[in-house]
Structure 1
Amino acid sequence: MDPNLLYWKAHGESFISRLRIWVDLLDPSSLLCSDAEIQKARVLIGEGDNLSIKDKHAPILSLSSVHADSGEVLPLVFRPPAFLPISAPMVIGSFLPHARVTPALFWQFLLQTYNAGFNYANRNSSAEQGKKMSLKQLLMTGGSVAYVTCAGALPQIIISRLGVRSVPLQTFFRSLLPIPLSAALAAFNVFTVRNEESENGIQVFDSNGNPVGVSKAAGAKAVRDTALSRAALFGTSAAAPSLLVWLLQRTRLFQRNSRLVGPIRLLSALYALGLMIPVTFSLFPQLGMIKRESLEEHLQAAAADGHLFYHRGL
C-alpha cells in the first residue's frame, strides 16, 4: 500500500482528524515546493513516527502533492492546495447576475473544465497504470463539460430568452435554482469523468495493506462518495449567499442600502467555498472501507476482517 494511504489509515479514521489534516494540506505555500522536495517528502513519509522535527512537514507535502496510486507528482494546478485559489474566481464569476448569456456560459465553461480536470487528476487510477485515456473517456469528459456548462448557465438563458422581468421569478432563477443545480452538476461531473472506476474496478487491499484484487463495487462506492462530497461543496457554496442575503434584506440597513447586497453575496460565496472545501474533503476517508457482503464473490474470501480498503480519490 502506498505510504500516503498508510498515513491516512493511521491518522484519518475520524472526521475530526481528517479535517485537521485537510486544513494543513490546503495551505497554498506547499505549491512553492520543488518536485525534488516533494519526492523527498514521499520517501520520508514511509518512516512514520521516526520523522525528525524538521521533517514533520513531509507528510503534508506528500499527501498534498503526490498521487497515491501512481506515485507521481500531481500537476500544480490540480493539487488540492490550488483548488481554492483557482476555483474561487470561477465560482464567483458563475454566481454573478450577468446581463447576457455569453458571460454566464464563459464562467461556467471555465469552472466545469477545471472541475473535470481536478476530478480526473485526483481519481483512483490503480487499474489504469501504463494506459492512456481512452477515446470513450475523452469523449465522455468533453461531453460532460459541454453539458454542465449549458446546464449551469440555464437560469441566465431562461431569463434572457424568455425576457423574465418579474422580481419573484428573477429571484427564483438567480438565487434558488442555482442551489440544487450546482449540487447536481458537480456530482454529475464526478460520475462522468470517473466512470471507468465503476466499469473497470479499482484495487482493494486487506488490513495489512496487501493488494488482493480489483473490485468494481469499490470503484462505484469511491465515485459515489466523491460525488456526494462535491455536491455538498458546491450546493452549500450556492446556498449560503442566498440565505445570508435573504436574512440581511430584512434589516433596515440593507433596505436603505440595496447596493450592499452584491458585494455581500460575493464575499459570502467566497467564504462559504473556503470553509466547505476542507469540510467536504473530510466527509469520507481517503482510504475507504467496503464490507465483505458488498464485494464481489471472488474477493469476499480475502476480507478476513470483514472488510477491504481502497483509495477513494478526491
Structure 2
Amino acid sequence: MTASITTFNIDAPRWDQNTFMGRMKHFFNITDPRTLLVSEHELDLAKTLVESCRAGVVPPGTSDEQLYYAKKLYDSTFHPDSGDKMNLIGRMSFQVPGGMAITGCMLQFYRTVPAVVFWQWVNQSFNAIVNYTNRNAATPVPCAPIPSLLWINLVFRLTSFSFSLQRAPSLLARWVPFAAVAAANCVNIPLMRQQELINGITVTDENGNTLGKSRKAAIKGITQVVLSRIVMAAPGMILLPVIMEKLEKYPFMNKIRVLHAPLQTILVGGFLVFMVPVGCALFPQRSSIAVSHLEPSLRELIVAKHGDKVPYAYFNKGL
C-alpha cells in the first residue's frame, strides 16, 4: 500500500504544556486506565504509526484523530526517553487501579503494626516499580538500591506508626498511612534515582541538542516528582478518613463492616482518577533550568560554546 506524505507534527503537544490546564488535559489523556486493556499488537501498531508519522509518511486515509489516538497509546505505554515499552505495573495509567487497591487496604488495615508494615511495604514496593519505570531513562539505574530501599521504608513505617499505638485519637490514627507515605516518598524516589543525583542527568537546548549532564537539574526534577506524588495521595488519604469517621457513626455502617474496605477502595479510586493527572500536571514533564543556575563547570562550557544564545537548559524530570 502506497504511503501518504504528511506534515502532521505528532510530537507537538495537543494542549499547551505551558499552562496547568493544558498539562492536566494531556495527563488525563495518557493516564487513562482504559489504555491498559489495549492489546500488545495494537500498542505496537500505534508505535509504528507514530514513528512513520515522524518520518513524514502515514497510511492513506489516516485521520488526525487516528494519529492523536496512536500518540495517546504511545505516550501511555512507551518511555519518552528510550522509546521502550514500559512494564504494565509501572505505567502511570496503572496508578488508578493499582493505587486504589493498595491505598484502600492501607486506610482499612491501620490498627495493628503487622498490617501497617505489610501494606506500606506493598505500597512502597509498588512505588519503587513506578519510580524506576518513569525515571529519566538517559541515566542508568542499578537494581542494587531496592533491598536497602525496602529496609529504609520499613523503618519509616514502624517509626511513623509508633505514635498511633499510644491511644492516639481515632482520626489521627487514620492519618498515619498518609504521613508514612509522604515520608517514604521523600526517601524512595531519590534513592531509586540516586545515579541521577550522583552523575547528573542530560540537559539539552531548546532544540534537543545535548549540552551536558547536571546534578542540579536532577535535584530539581526529583524534588518536583516527590511533591507531585504527595499531592496525588493527599486528598484521598486525608479526606477519606474524615469521611469514613463520620459515616461510621451511623448504625447502618456498623451492620456492613465487611463492605468498609471495598467502599474505601472505590472512593480512593474516585480521588485518584482526578488526582493522578493533577499531580502529574503540577510541573512540566519537559522541565527547564536557567543556565545561570547550573554547575559552574557546565555553565562555563555552555557559555564558551554558545555564548548567551542558550539561556535555559531542558530535561525530562520523569513522573
- With normalisation by structure 2, the TM-score equals 0.80
Partner residue, 2:39: 33
Partner residue, 2:63: 52
Structure 1 residues 47 and 228, CA gap change in structure 2 (3 angstroms) = farther
1:23 to 17, 28, 43: 28
Q: Shift in Å at residue 208 of structure 1?
A: 1.7
Q: Shift in Å at residue 109 of structure 1?
A: 1.6
Partner residue, 1:142: 147
C-alpha offsets along residues 178-235 of structure 1, whole Å, 9 cap, x if unaligned? 3333222223211111121121111111112222221111111111111111122223
Partner residue, 2:243: 244
**Distance between the aligned counterparts of 1:56 and 1:222, measured in 2?**
27
Paired AA for residue 106 in structure 1:
F
Q: Which runs of 5+ in 2 are unaligned?
A: 1-8
Partner residue, 1:185: 184
Paired AA for residue 16 in structure 1:
M
1:96 to 104, 108, 111: 108
Structure 1 residues 172 and 256, CA gap change in structure 2 (3 angstroms) = closer
**3-state SS, counterpart of residue 72 of structure 1:** coil
Structure 1 residues 67 and 13, CA gap change in structure 2 (3 angstroms) = same
Partner residue, 1:72: 84
Paired AA for residue 201 in structure 1:
G
**3-state SS, counterpart of residue 212 of structure 1:** strand
Partner residue, 1:84: 96
Calculate the aligned-residue CA RMSD, in Å. 3.1
Q: Shift in Å at residue 305 of structure 1?
A: 4.3
**Distance between the aligned counterparts of 2:10 and 2:154, measured in 1?**
34
**Distance between the aligned counterparts of 1:99 and 1:127, measured in 2?**
41
**Distance between the aligned counterparts of 1:10 and 1:241, measured in 2?**
32
Paired AA for residue 306 in structure 1:
P
Partner residue, 1:282: 281
Whether the 8 Å CA contact 1:207–1:309 is kept in 2: the answer is yes
Structure 1 residues 45 and 228, CA gap change in structure 2 (3 angstroms) = farther
2:133 to 111, 114, 121: 121
C-alpha offsets along residues 119-144 of structure 1, whole Å, 9 cap, x if unaligned? 0111002133xxxx44xxx3433222
**Distance between the aligned counterparts of 1:41 and 1:186, measured in 2?**
37
Paired AA for residue 24 in structure 2:
L
**Distance between the aligned counterparts of 1:216 and 1:181, measured in 2?**
28
C-alpha offsets along residues 243-297 of structure 1, whole Å, 9 cap, x if unaligned? 3345x46xxx945545379466554333223321110011111110111221123
Whether the 8 Å CA contact 2:27–2:281 is kept in 1: the answer is yes
Aligned residues: 294
Paired AA for residue 179 in structure 1:
F
**Distance between the aligned counterparts of 1:27 and 1:44, measured in 2?**
24
Structure 1 residues 82 and 97, CA gap change in structure 2 (3 angstroms) = closer
Structure 1 residues 178 and 205, CA gap change in structure 2 (3 angstroms) = same
C-alpha offsets along residues 99-153 of structure 1, whole Å, 9 cap, x if unaligned? 543232222221110100110111002133xxxx44xxx3433222222244235
Whether the 8 Å CA contact 2:50–2:67 is kept in 1: the answer is no
**Sequence identity, in percent?**
22
**3-state SS, counterpart of residue 81 of structure 1:** helix
Structure 1 residues 212 and 243, CA gap change in structure 2 (3 angstroms) = same
Paired AA for residue 46 in structure 1:
R
Paired AA for residue 291 in structure 1:
A
Q: Which runs of 5+ in 1 are unaligned?
A: none
- With normalisation by structure 1, the TM-score equals 0.81
Paired AA for residue 150 in structure 2:
V
Whether the 8 Å CA contact 1:156–1:173 is kept in 2: the answer is no
Paired AA for residue 30 in structure 1:
T
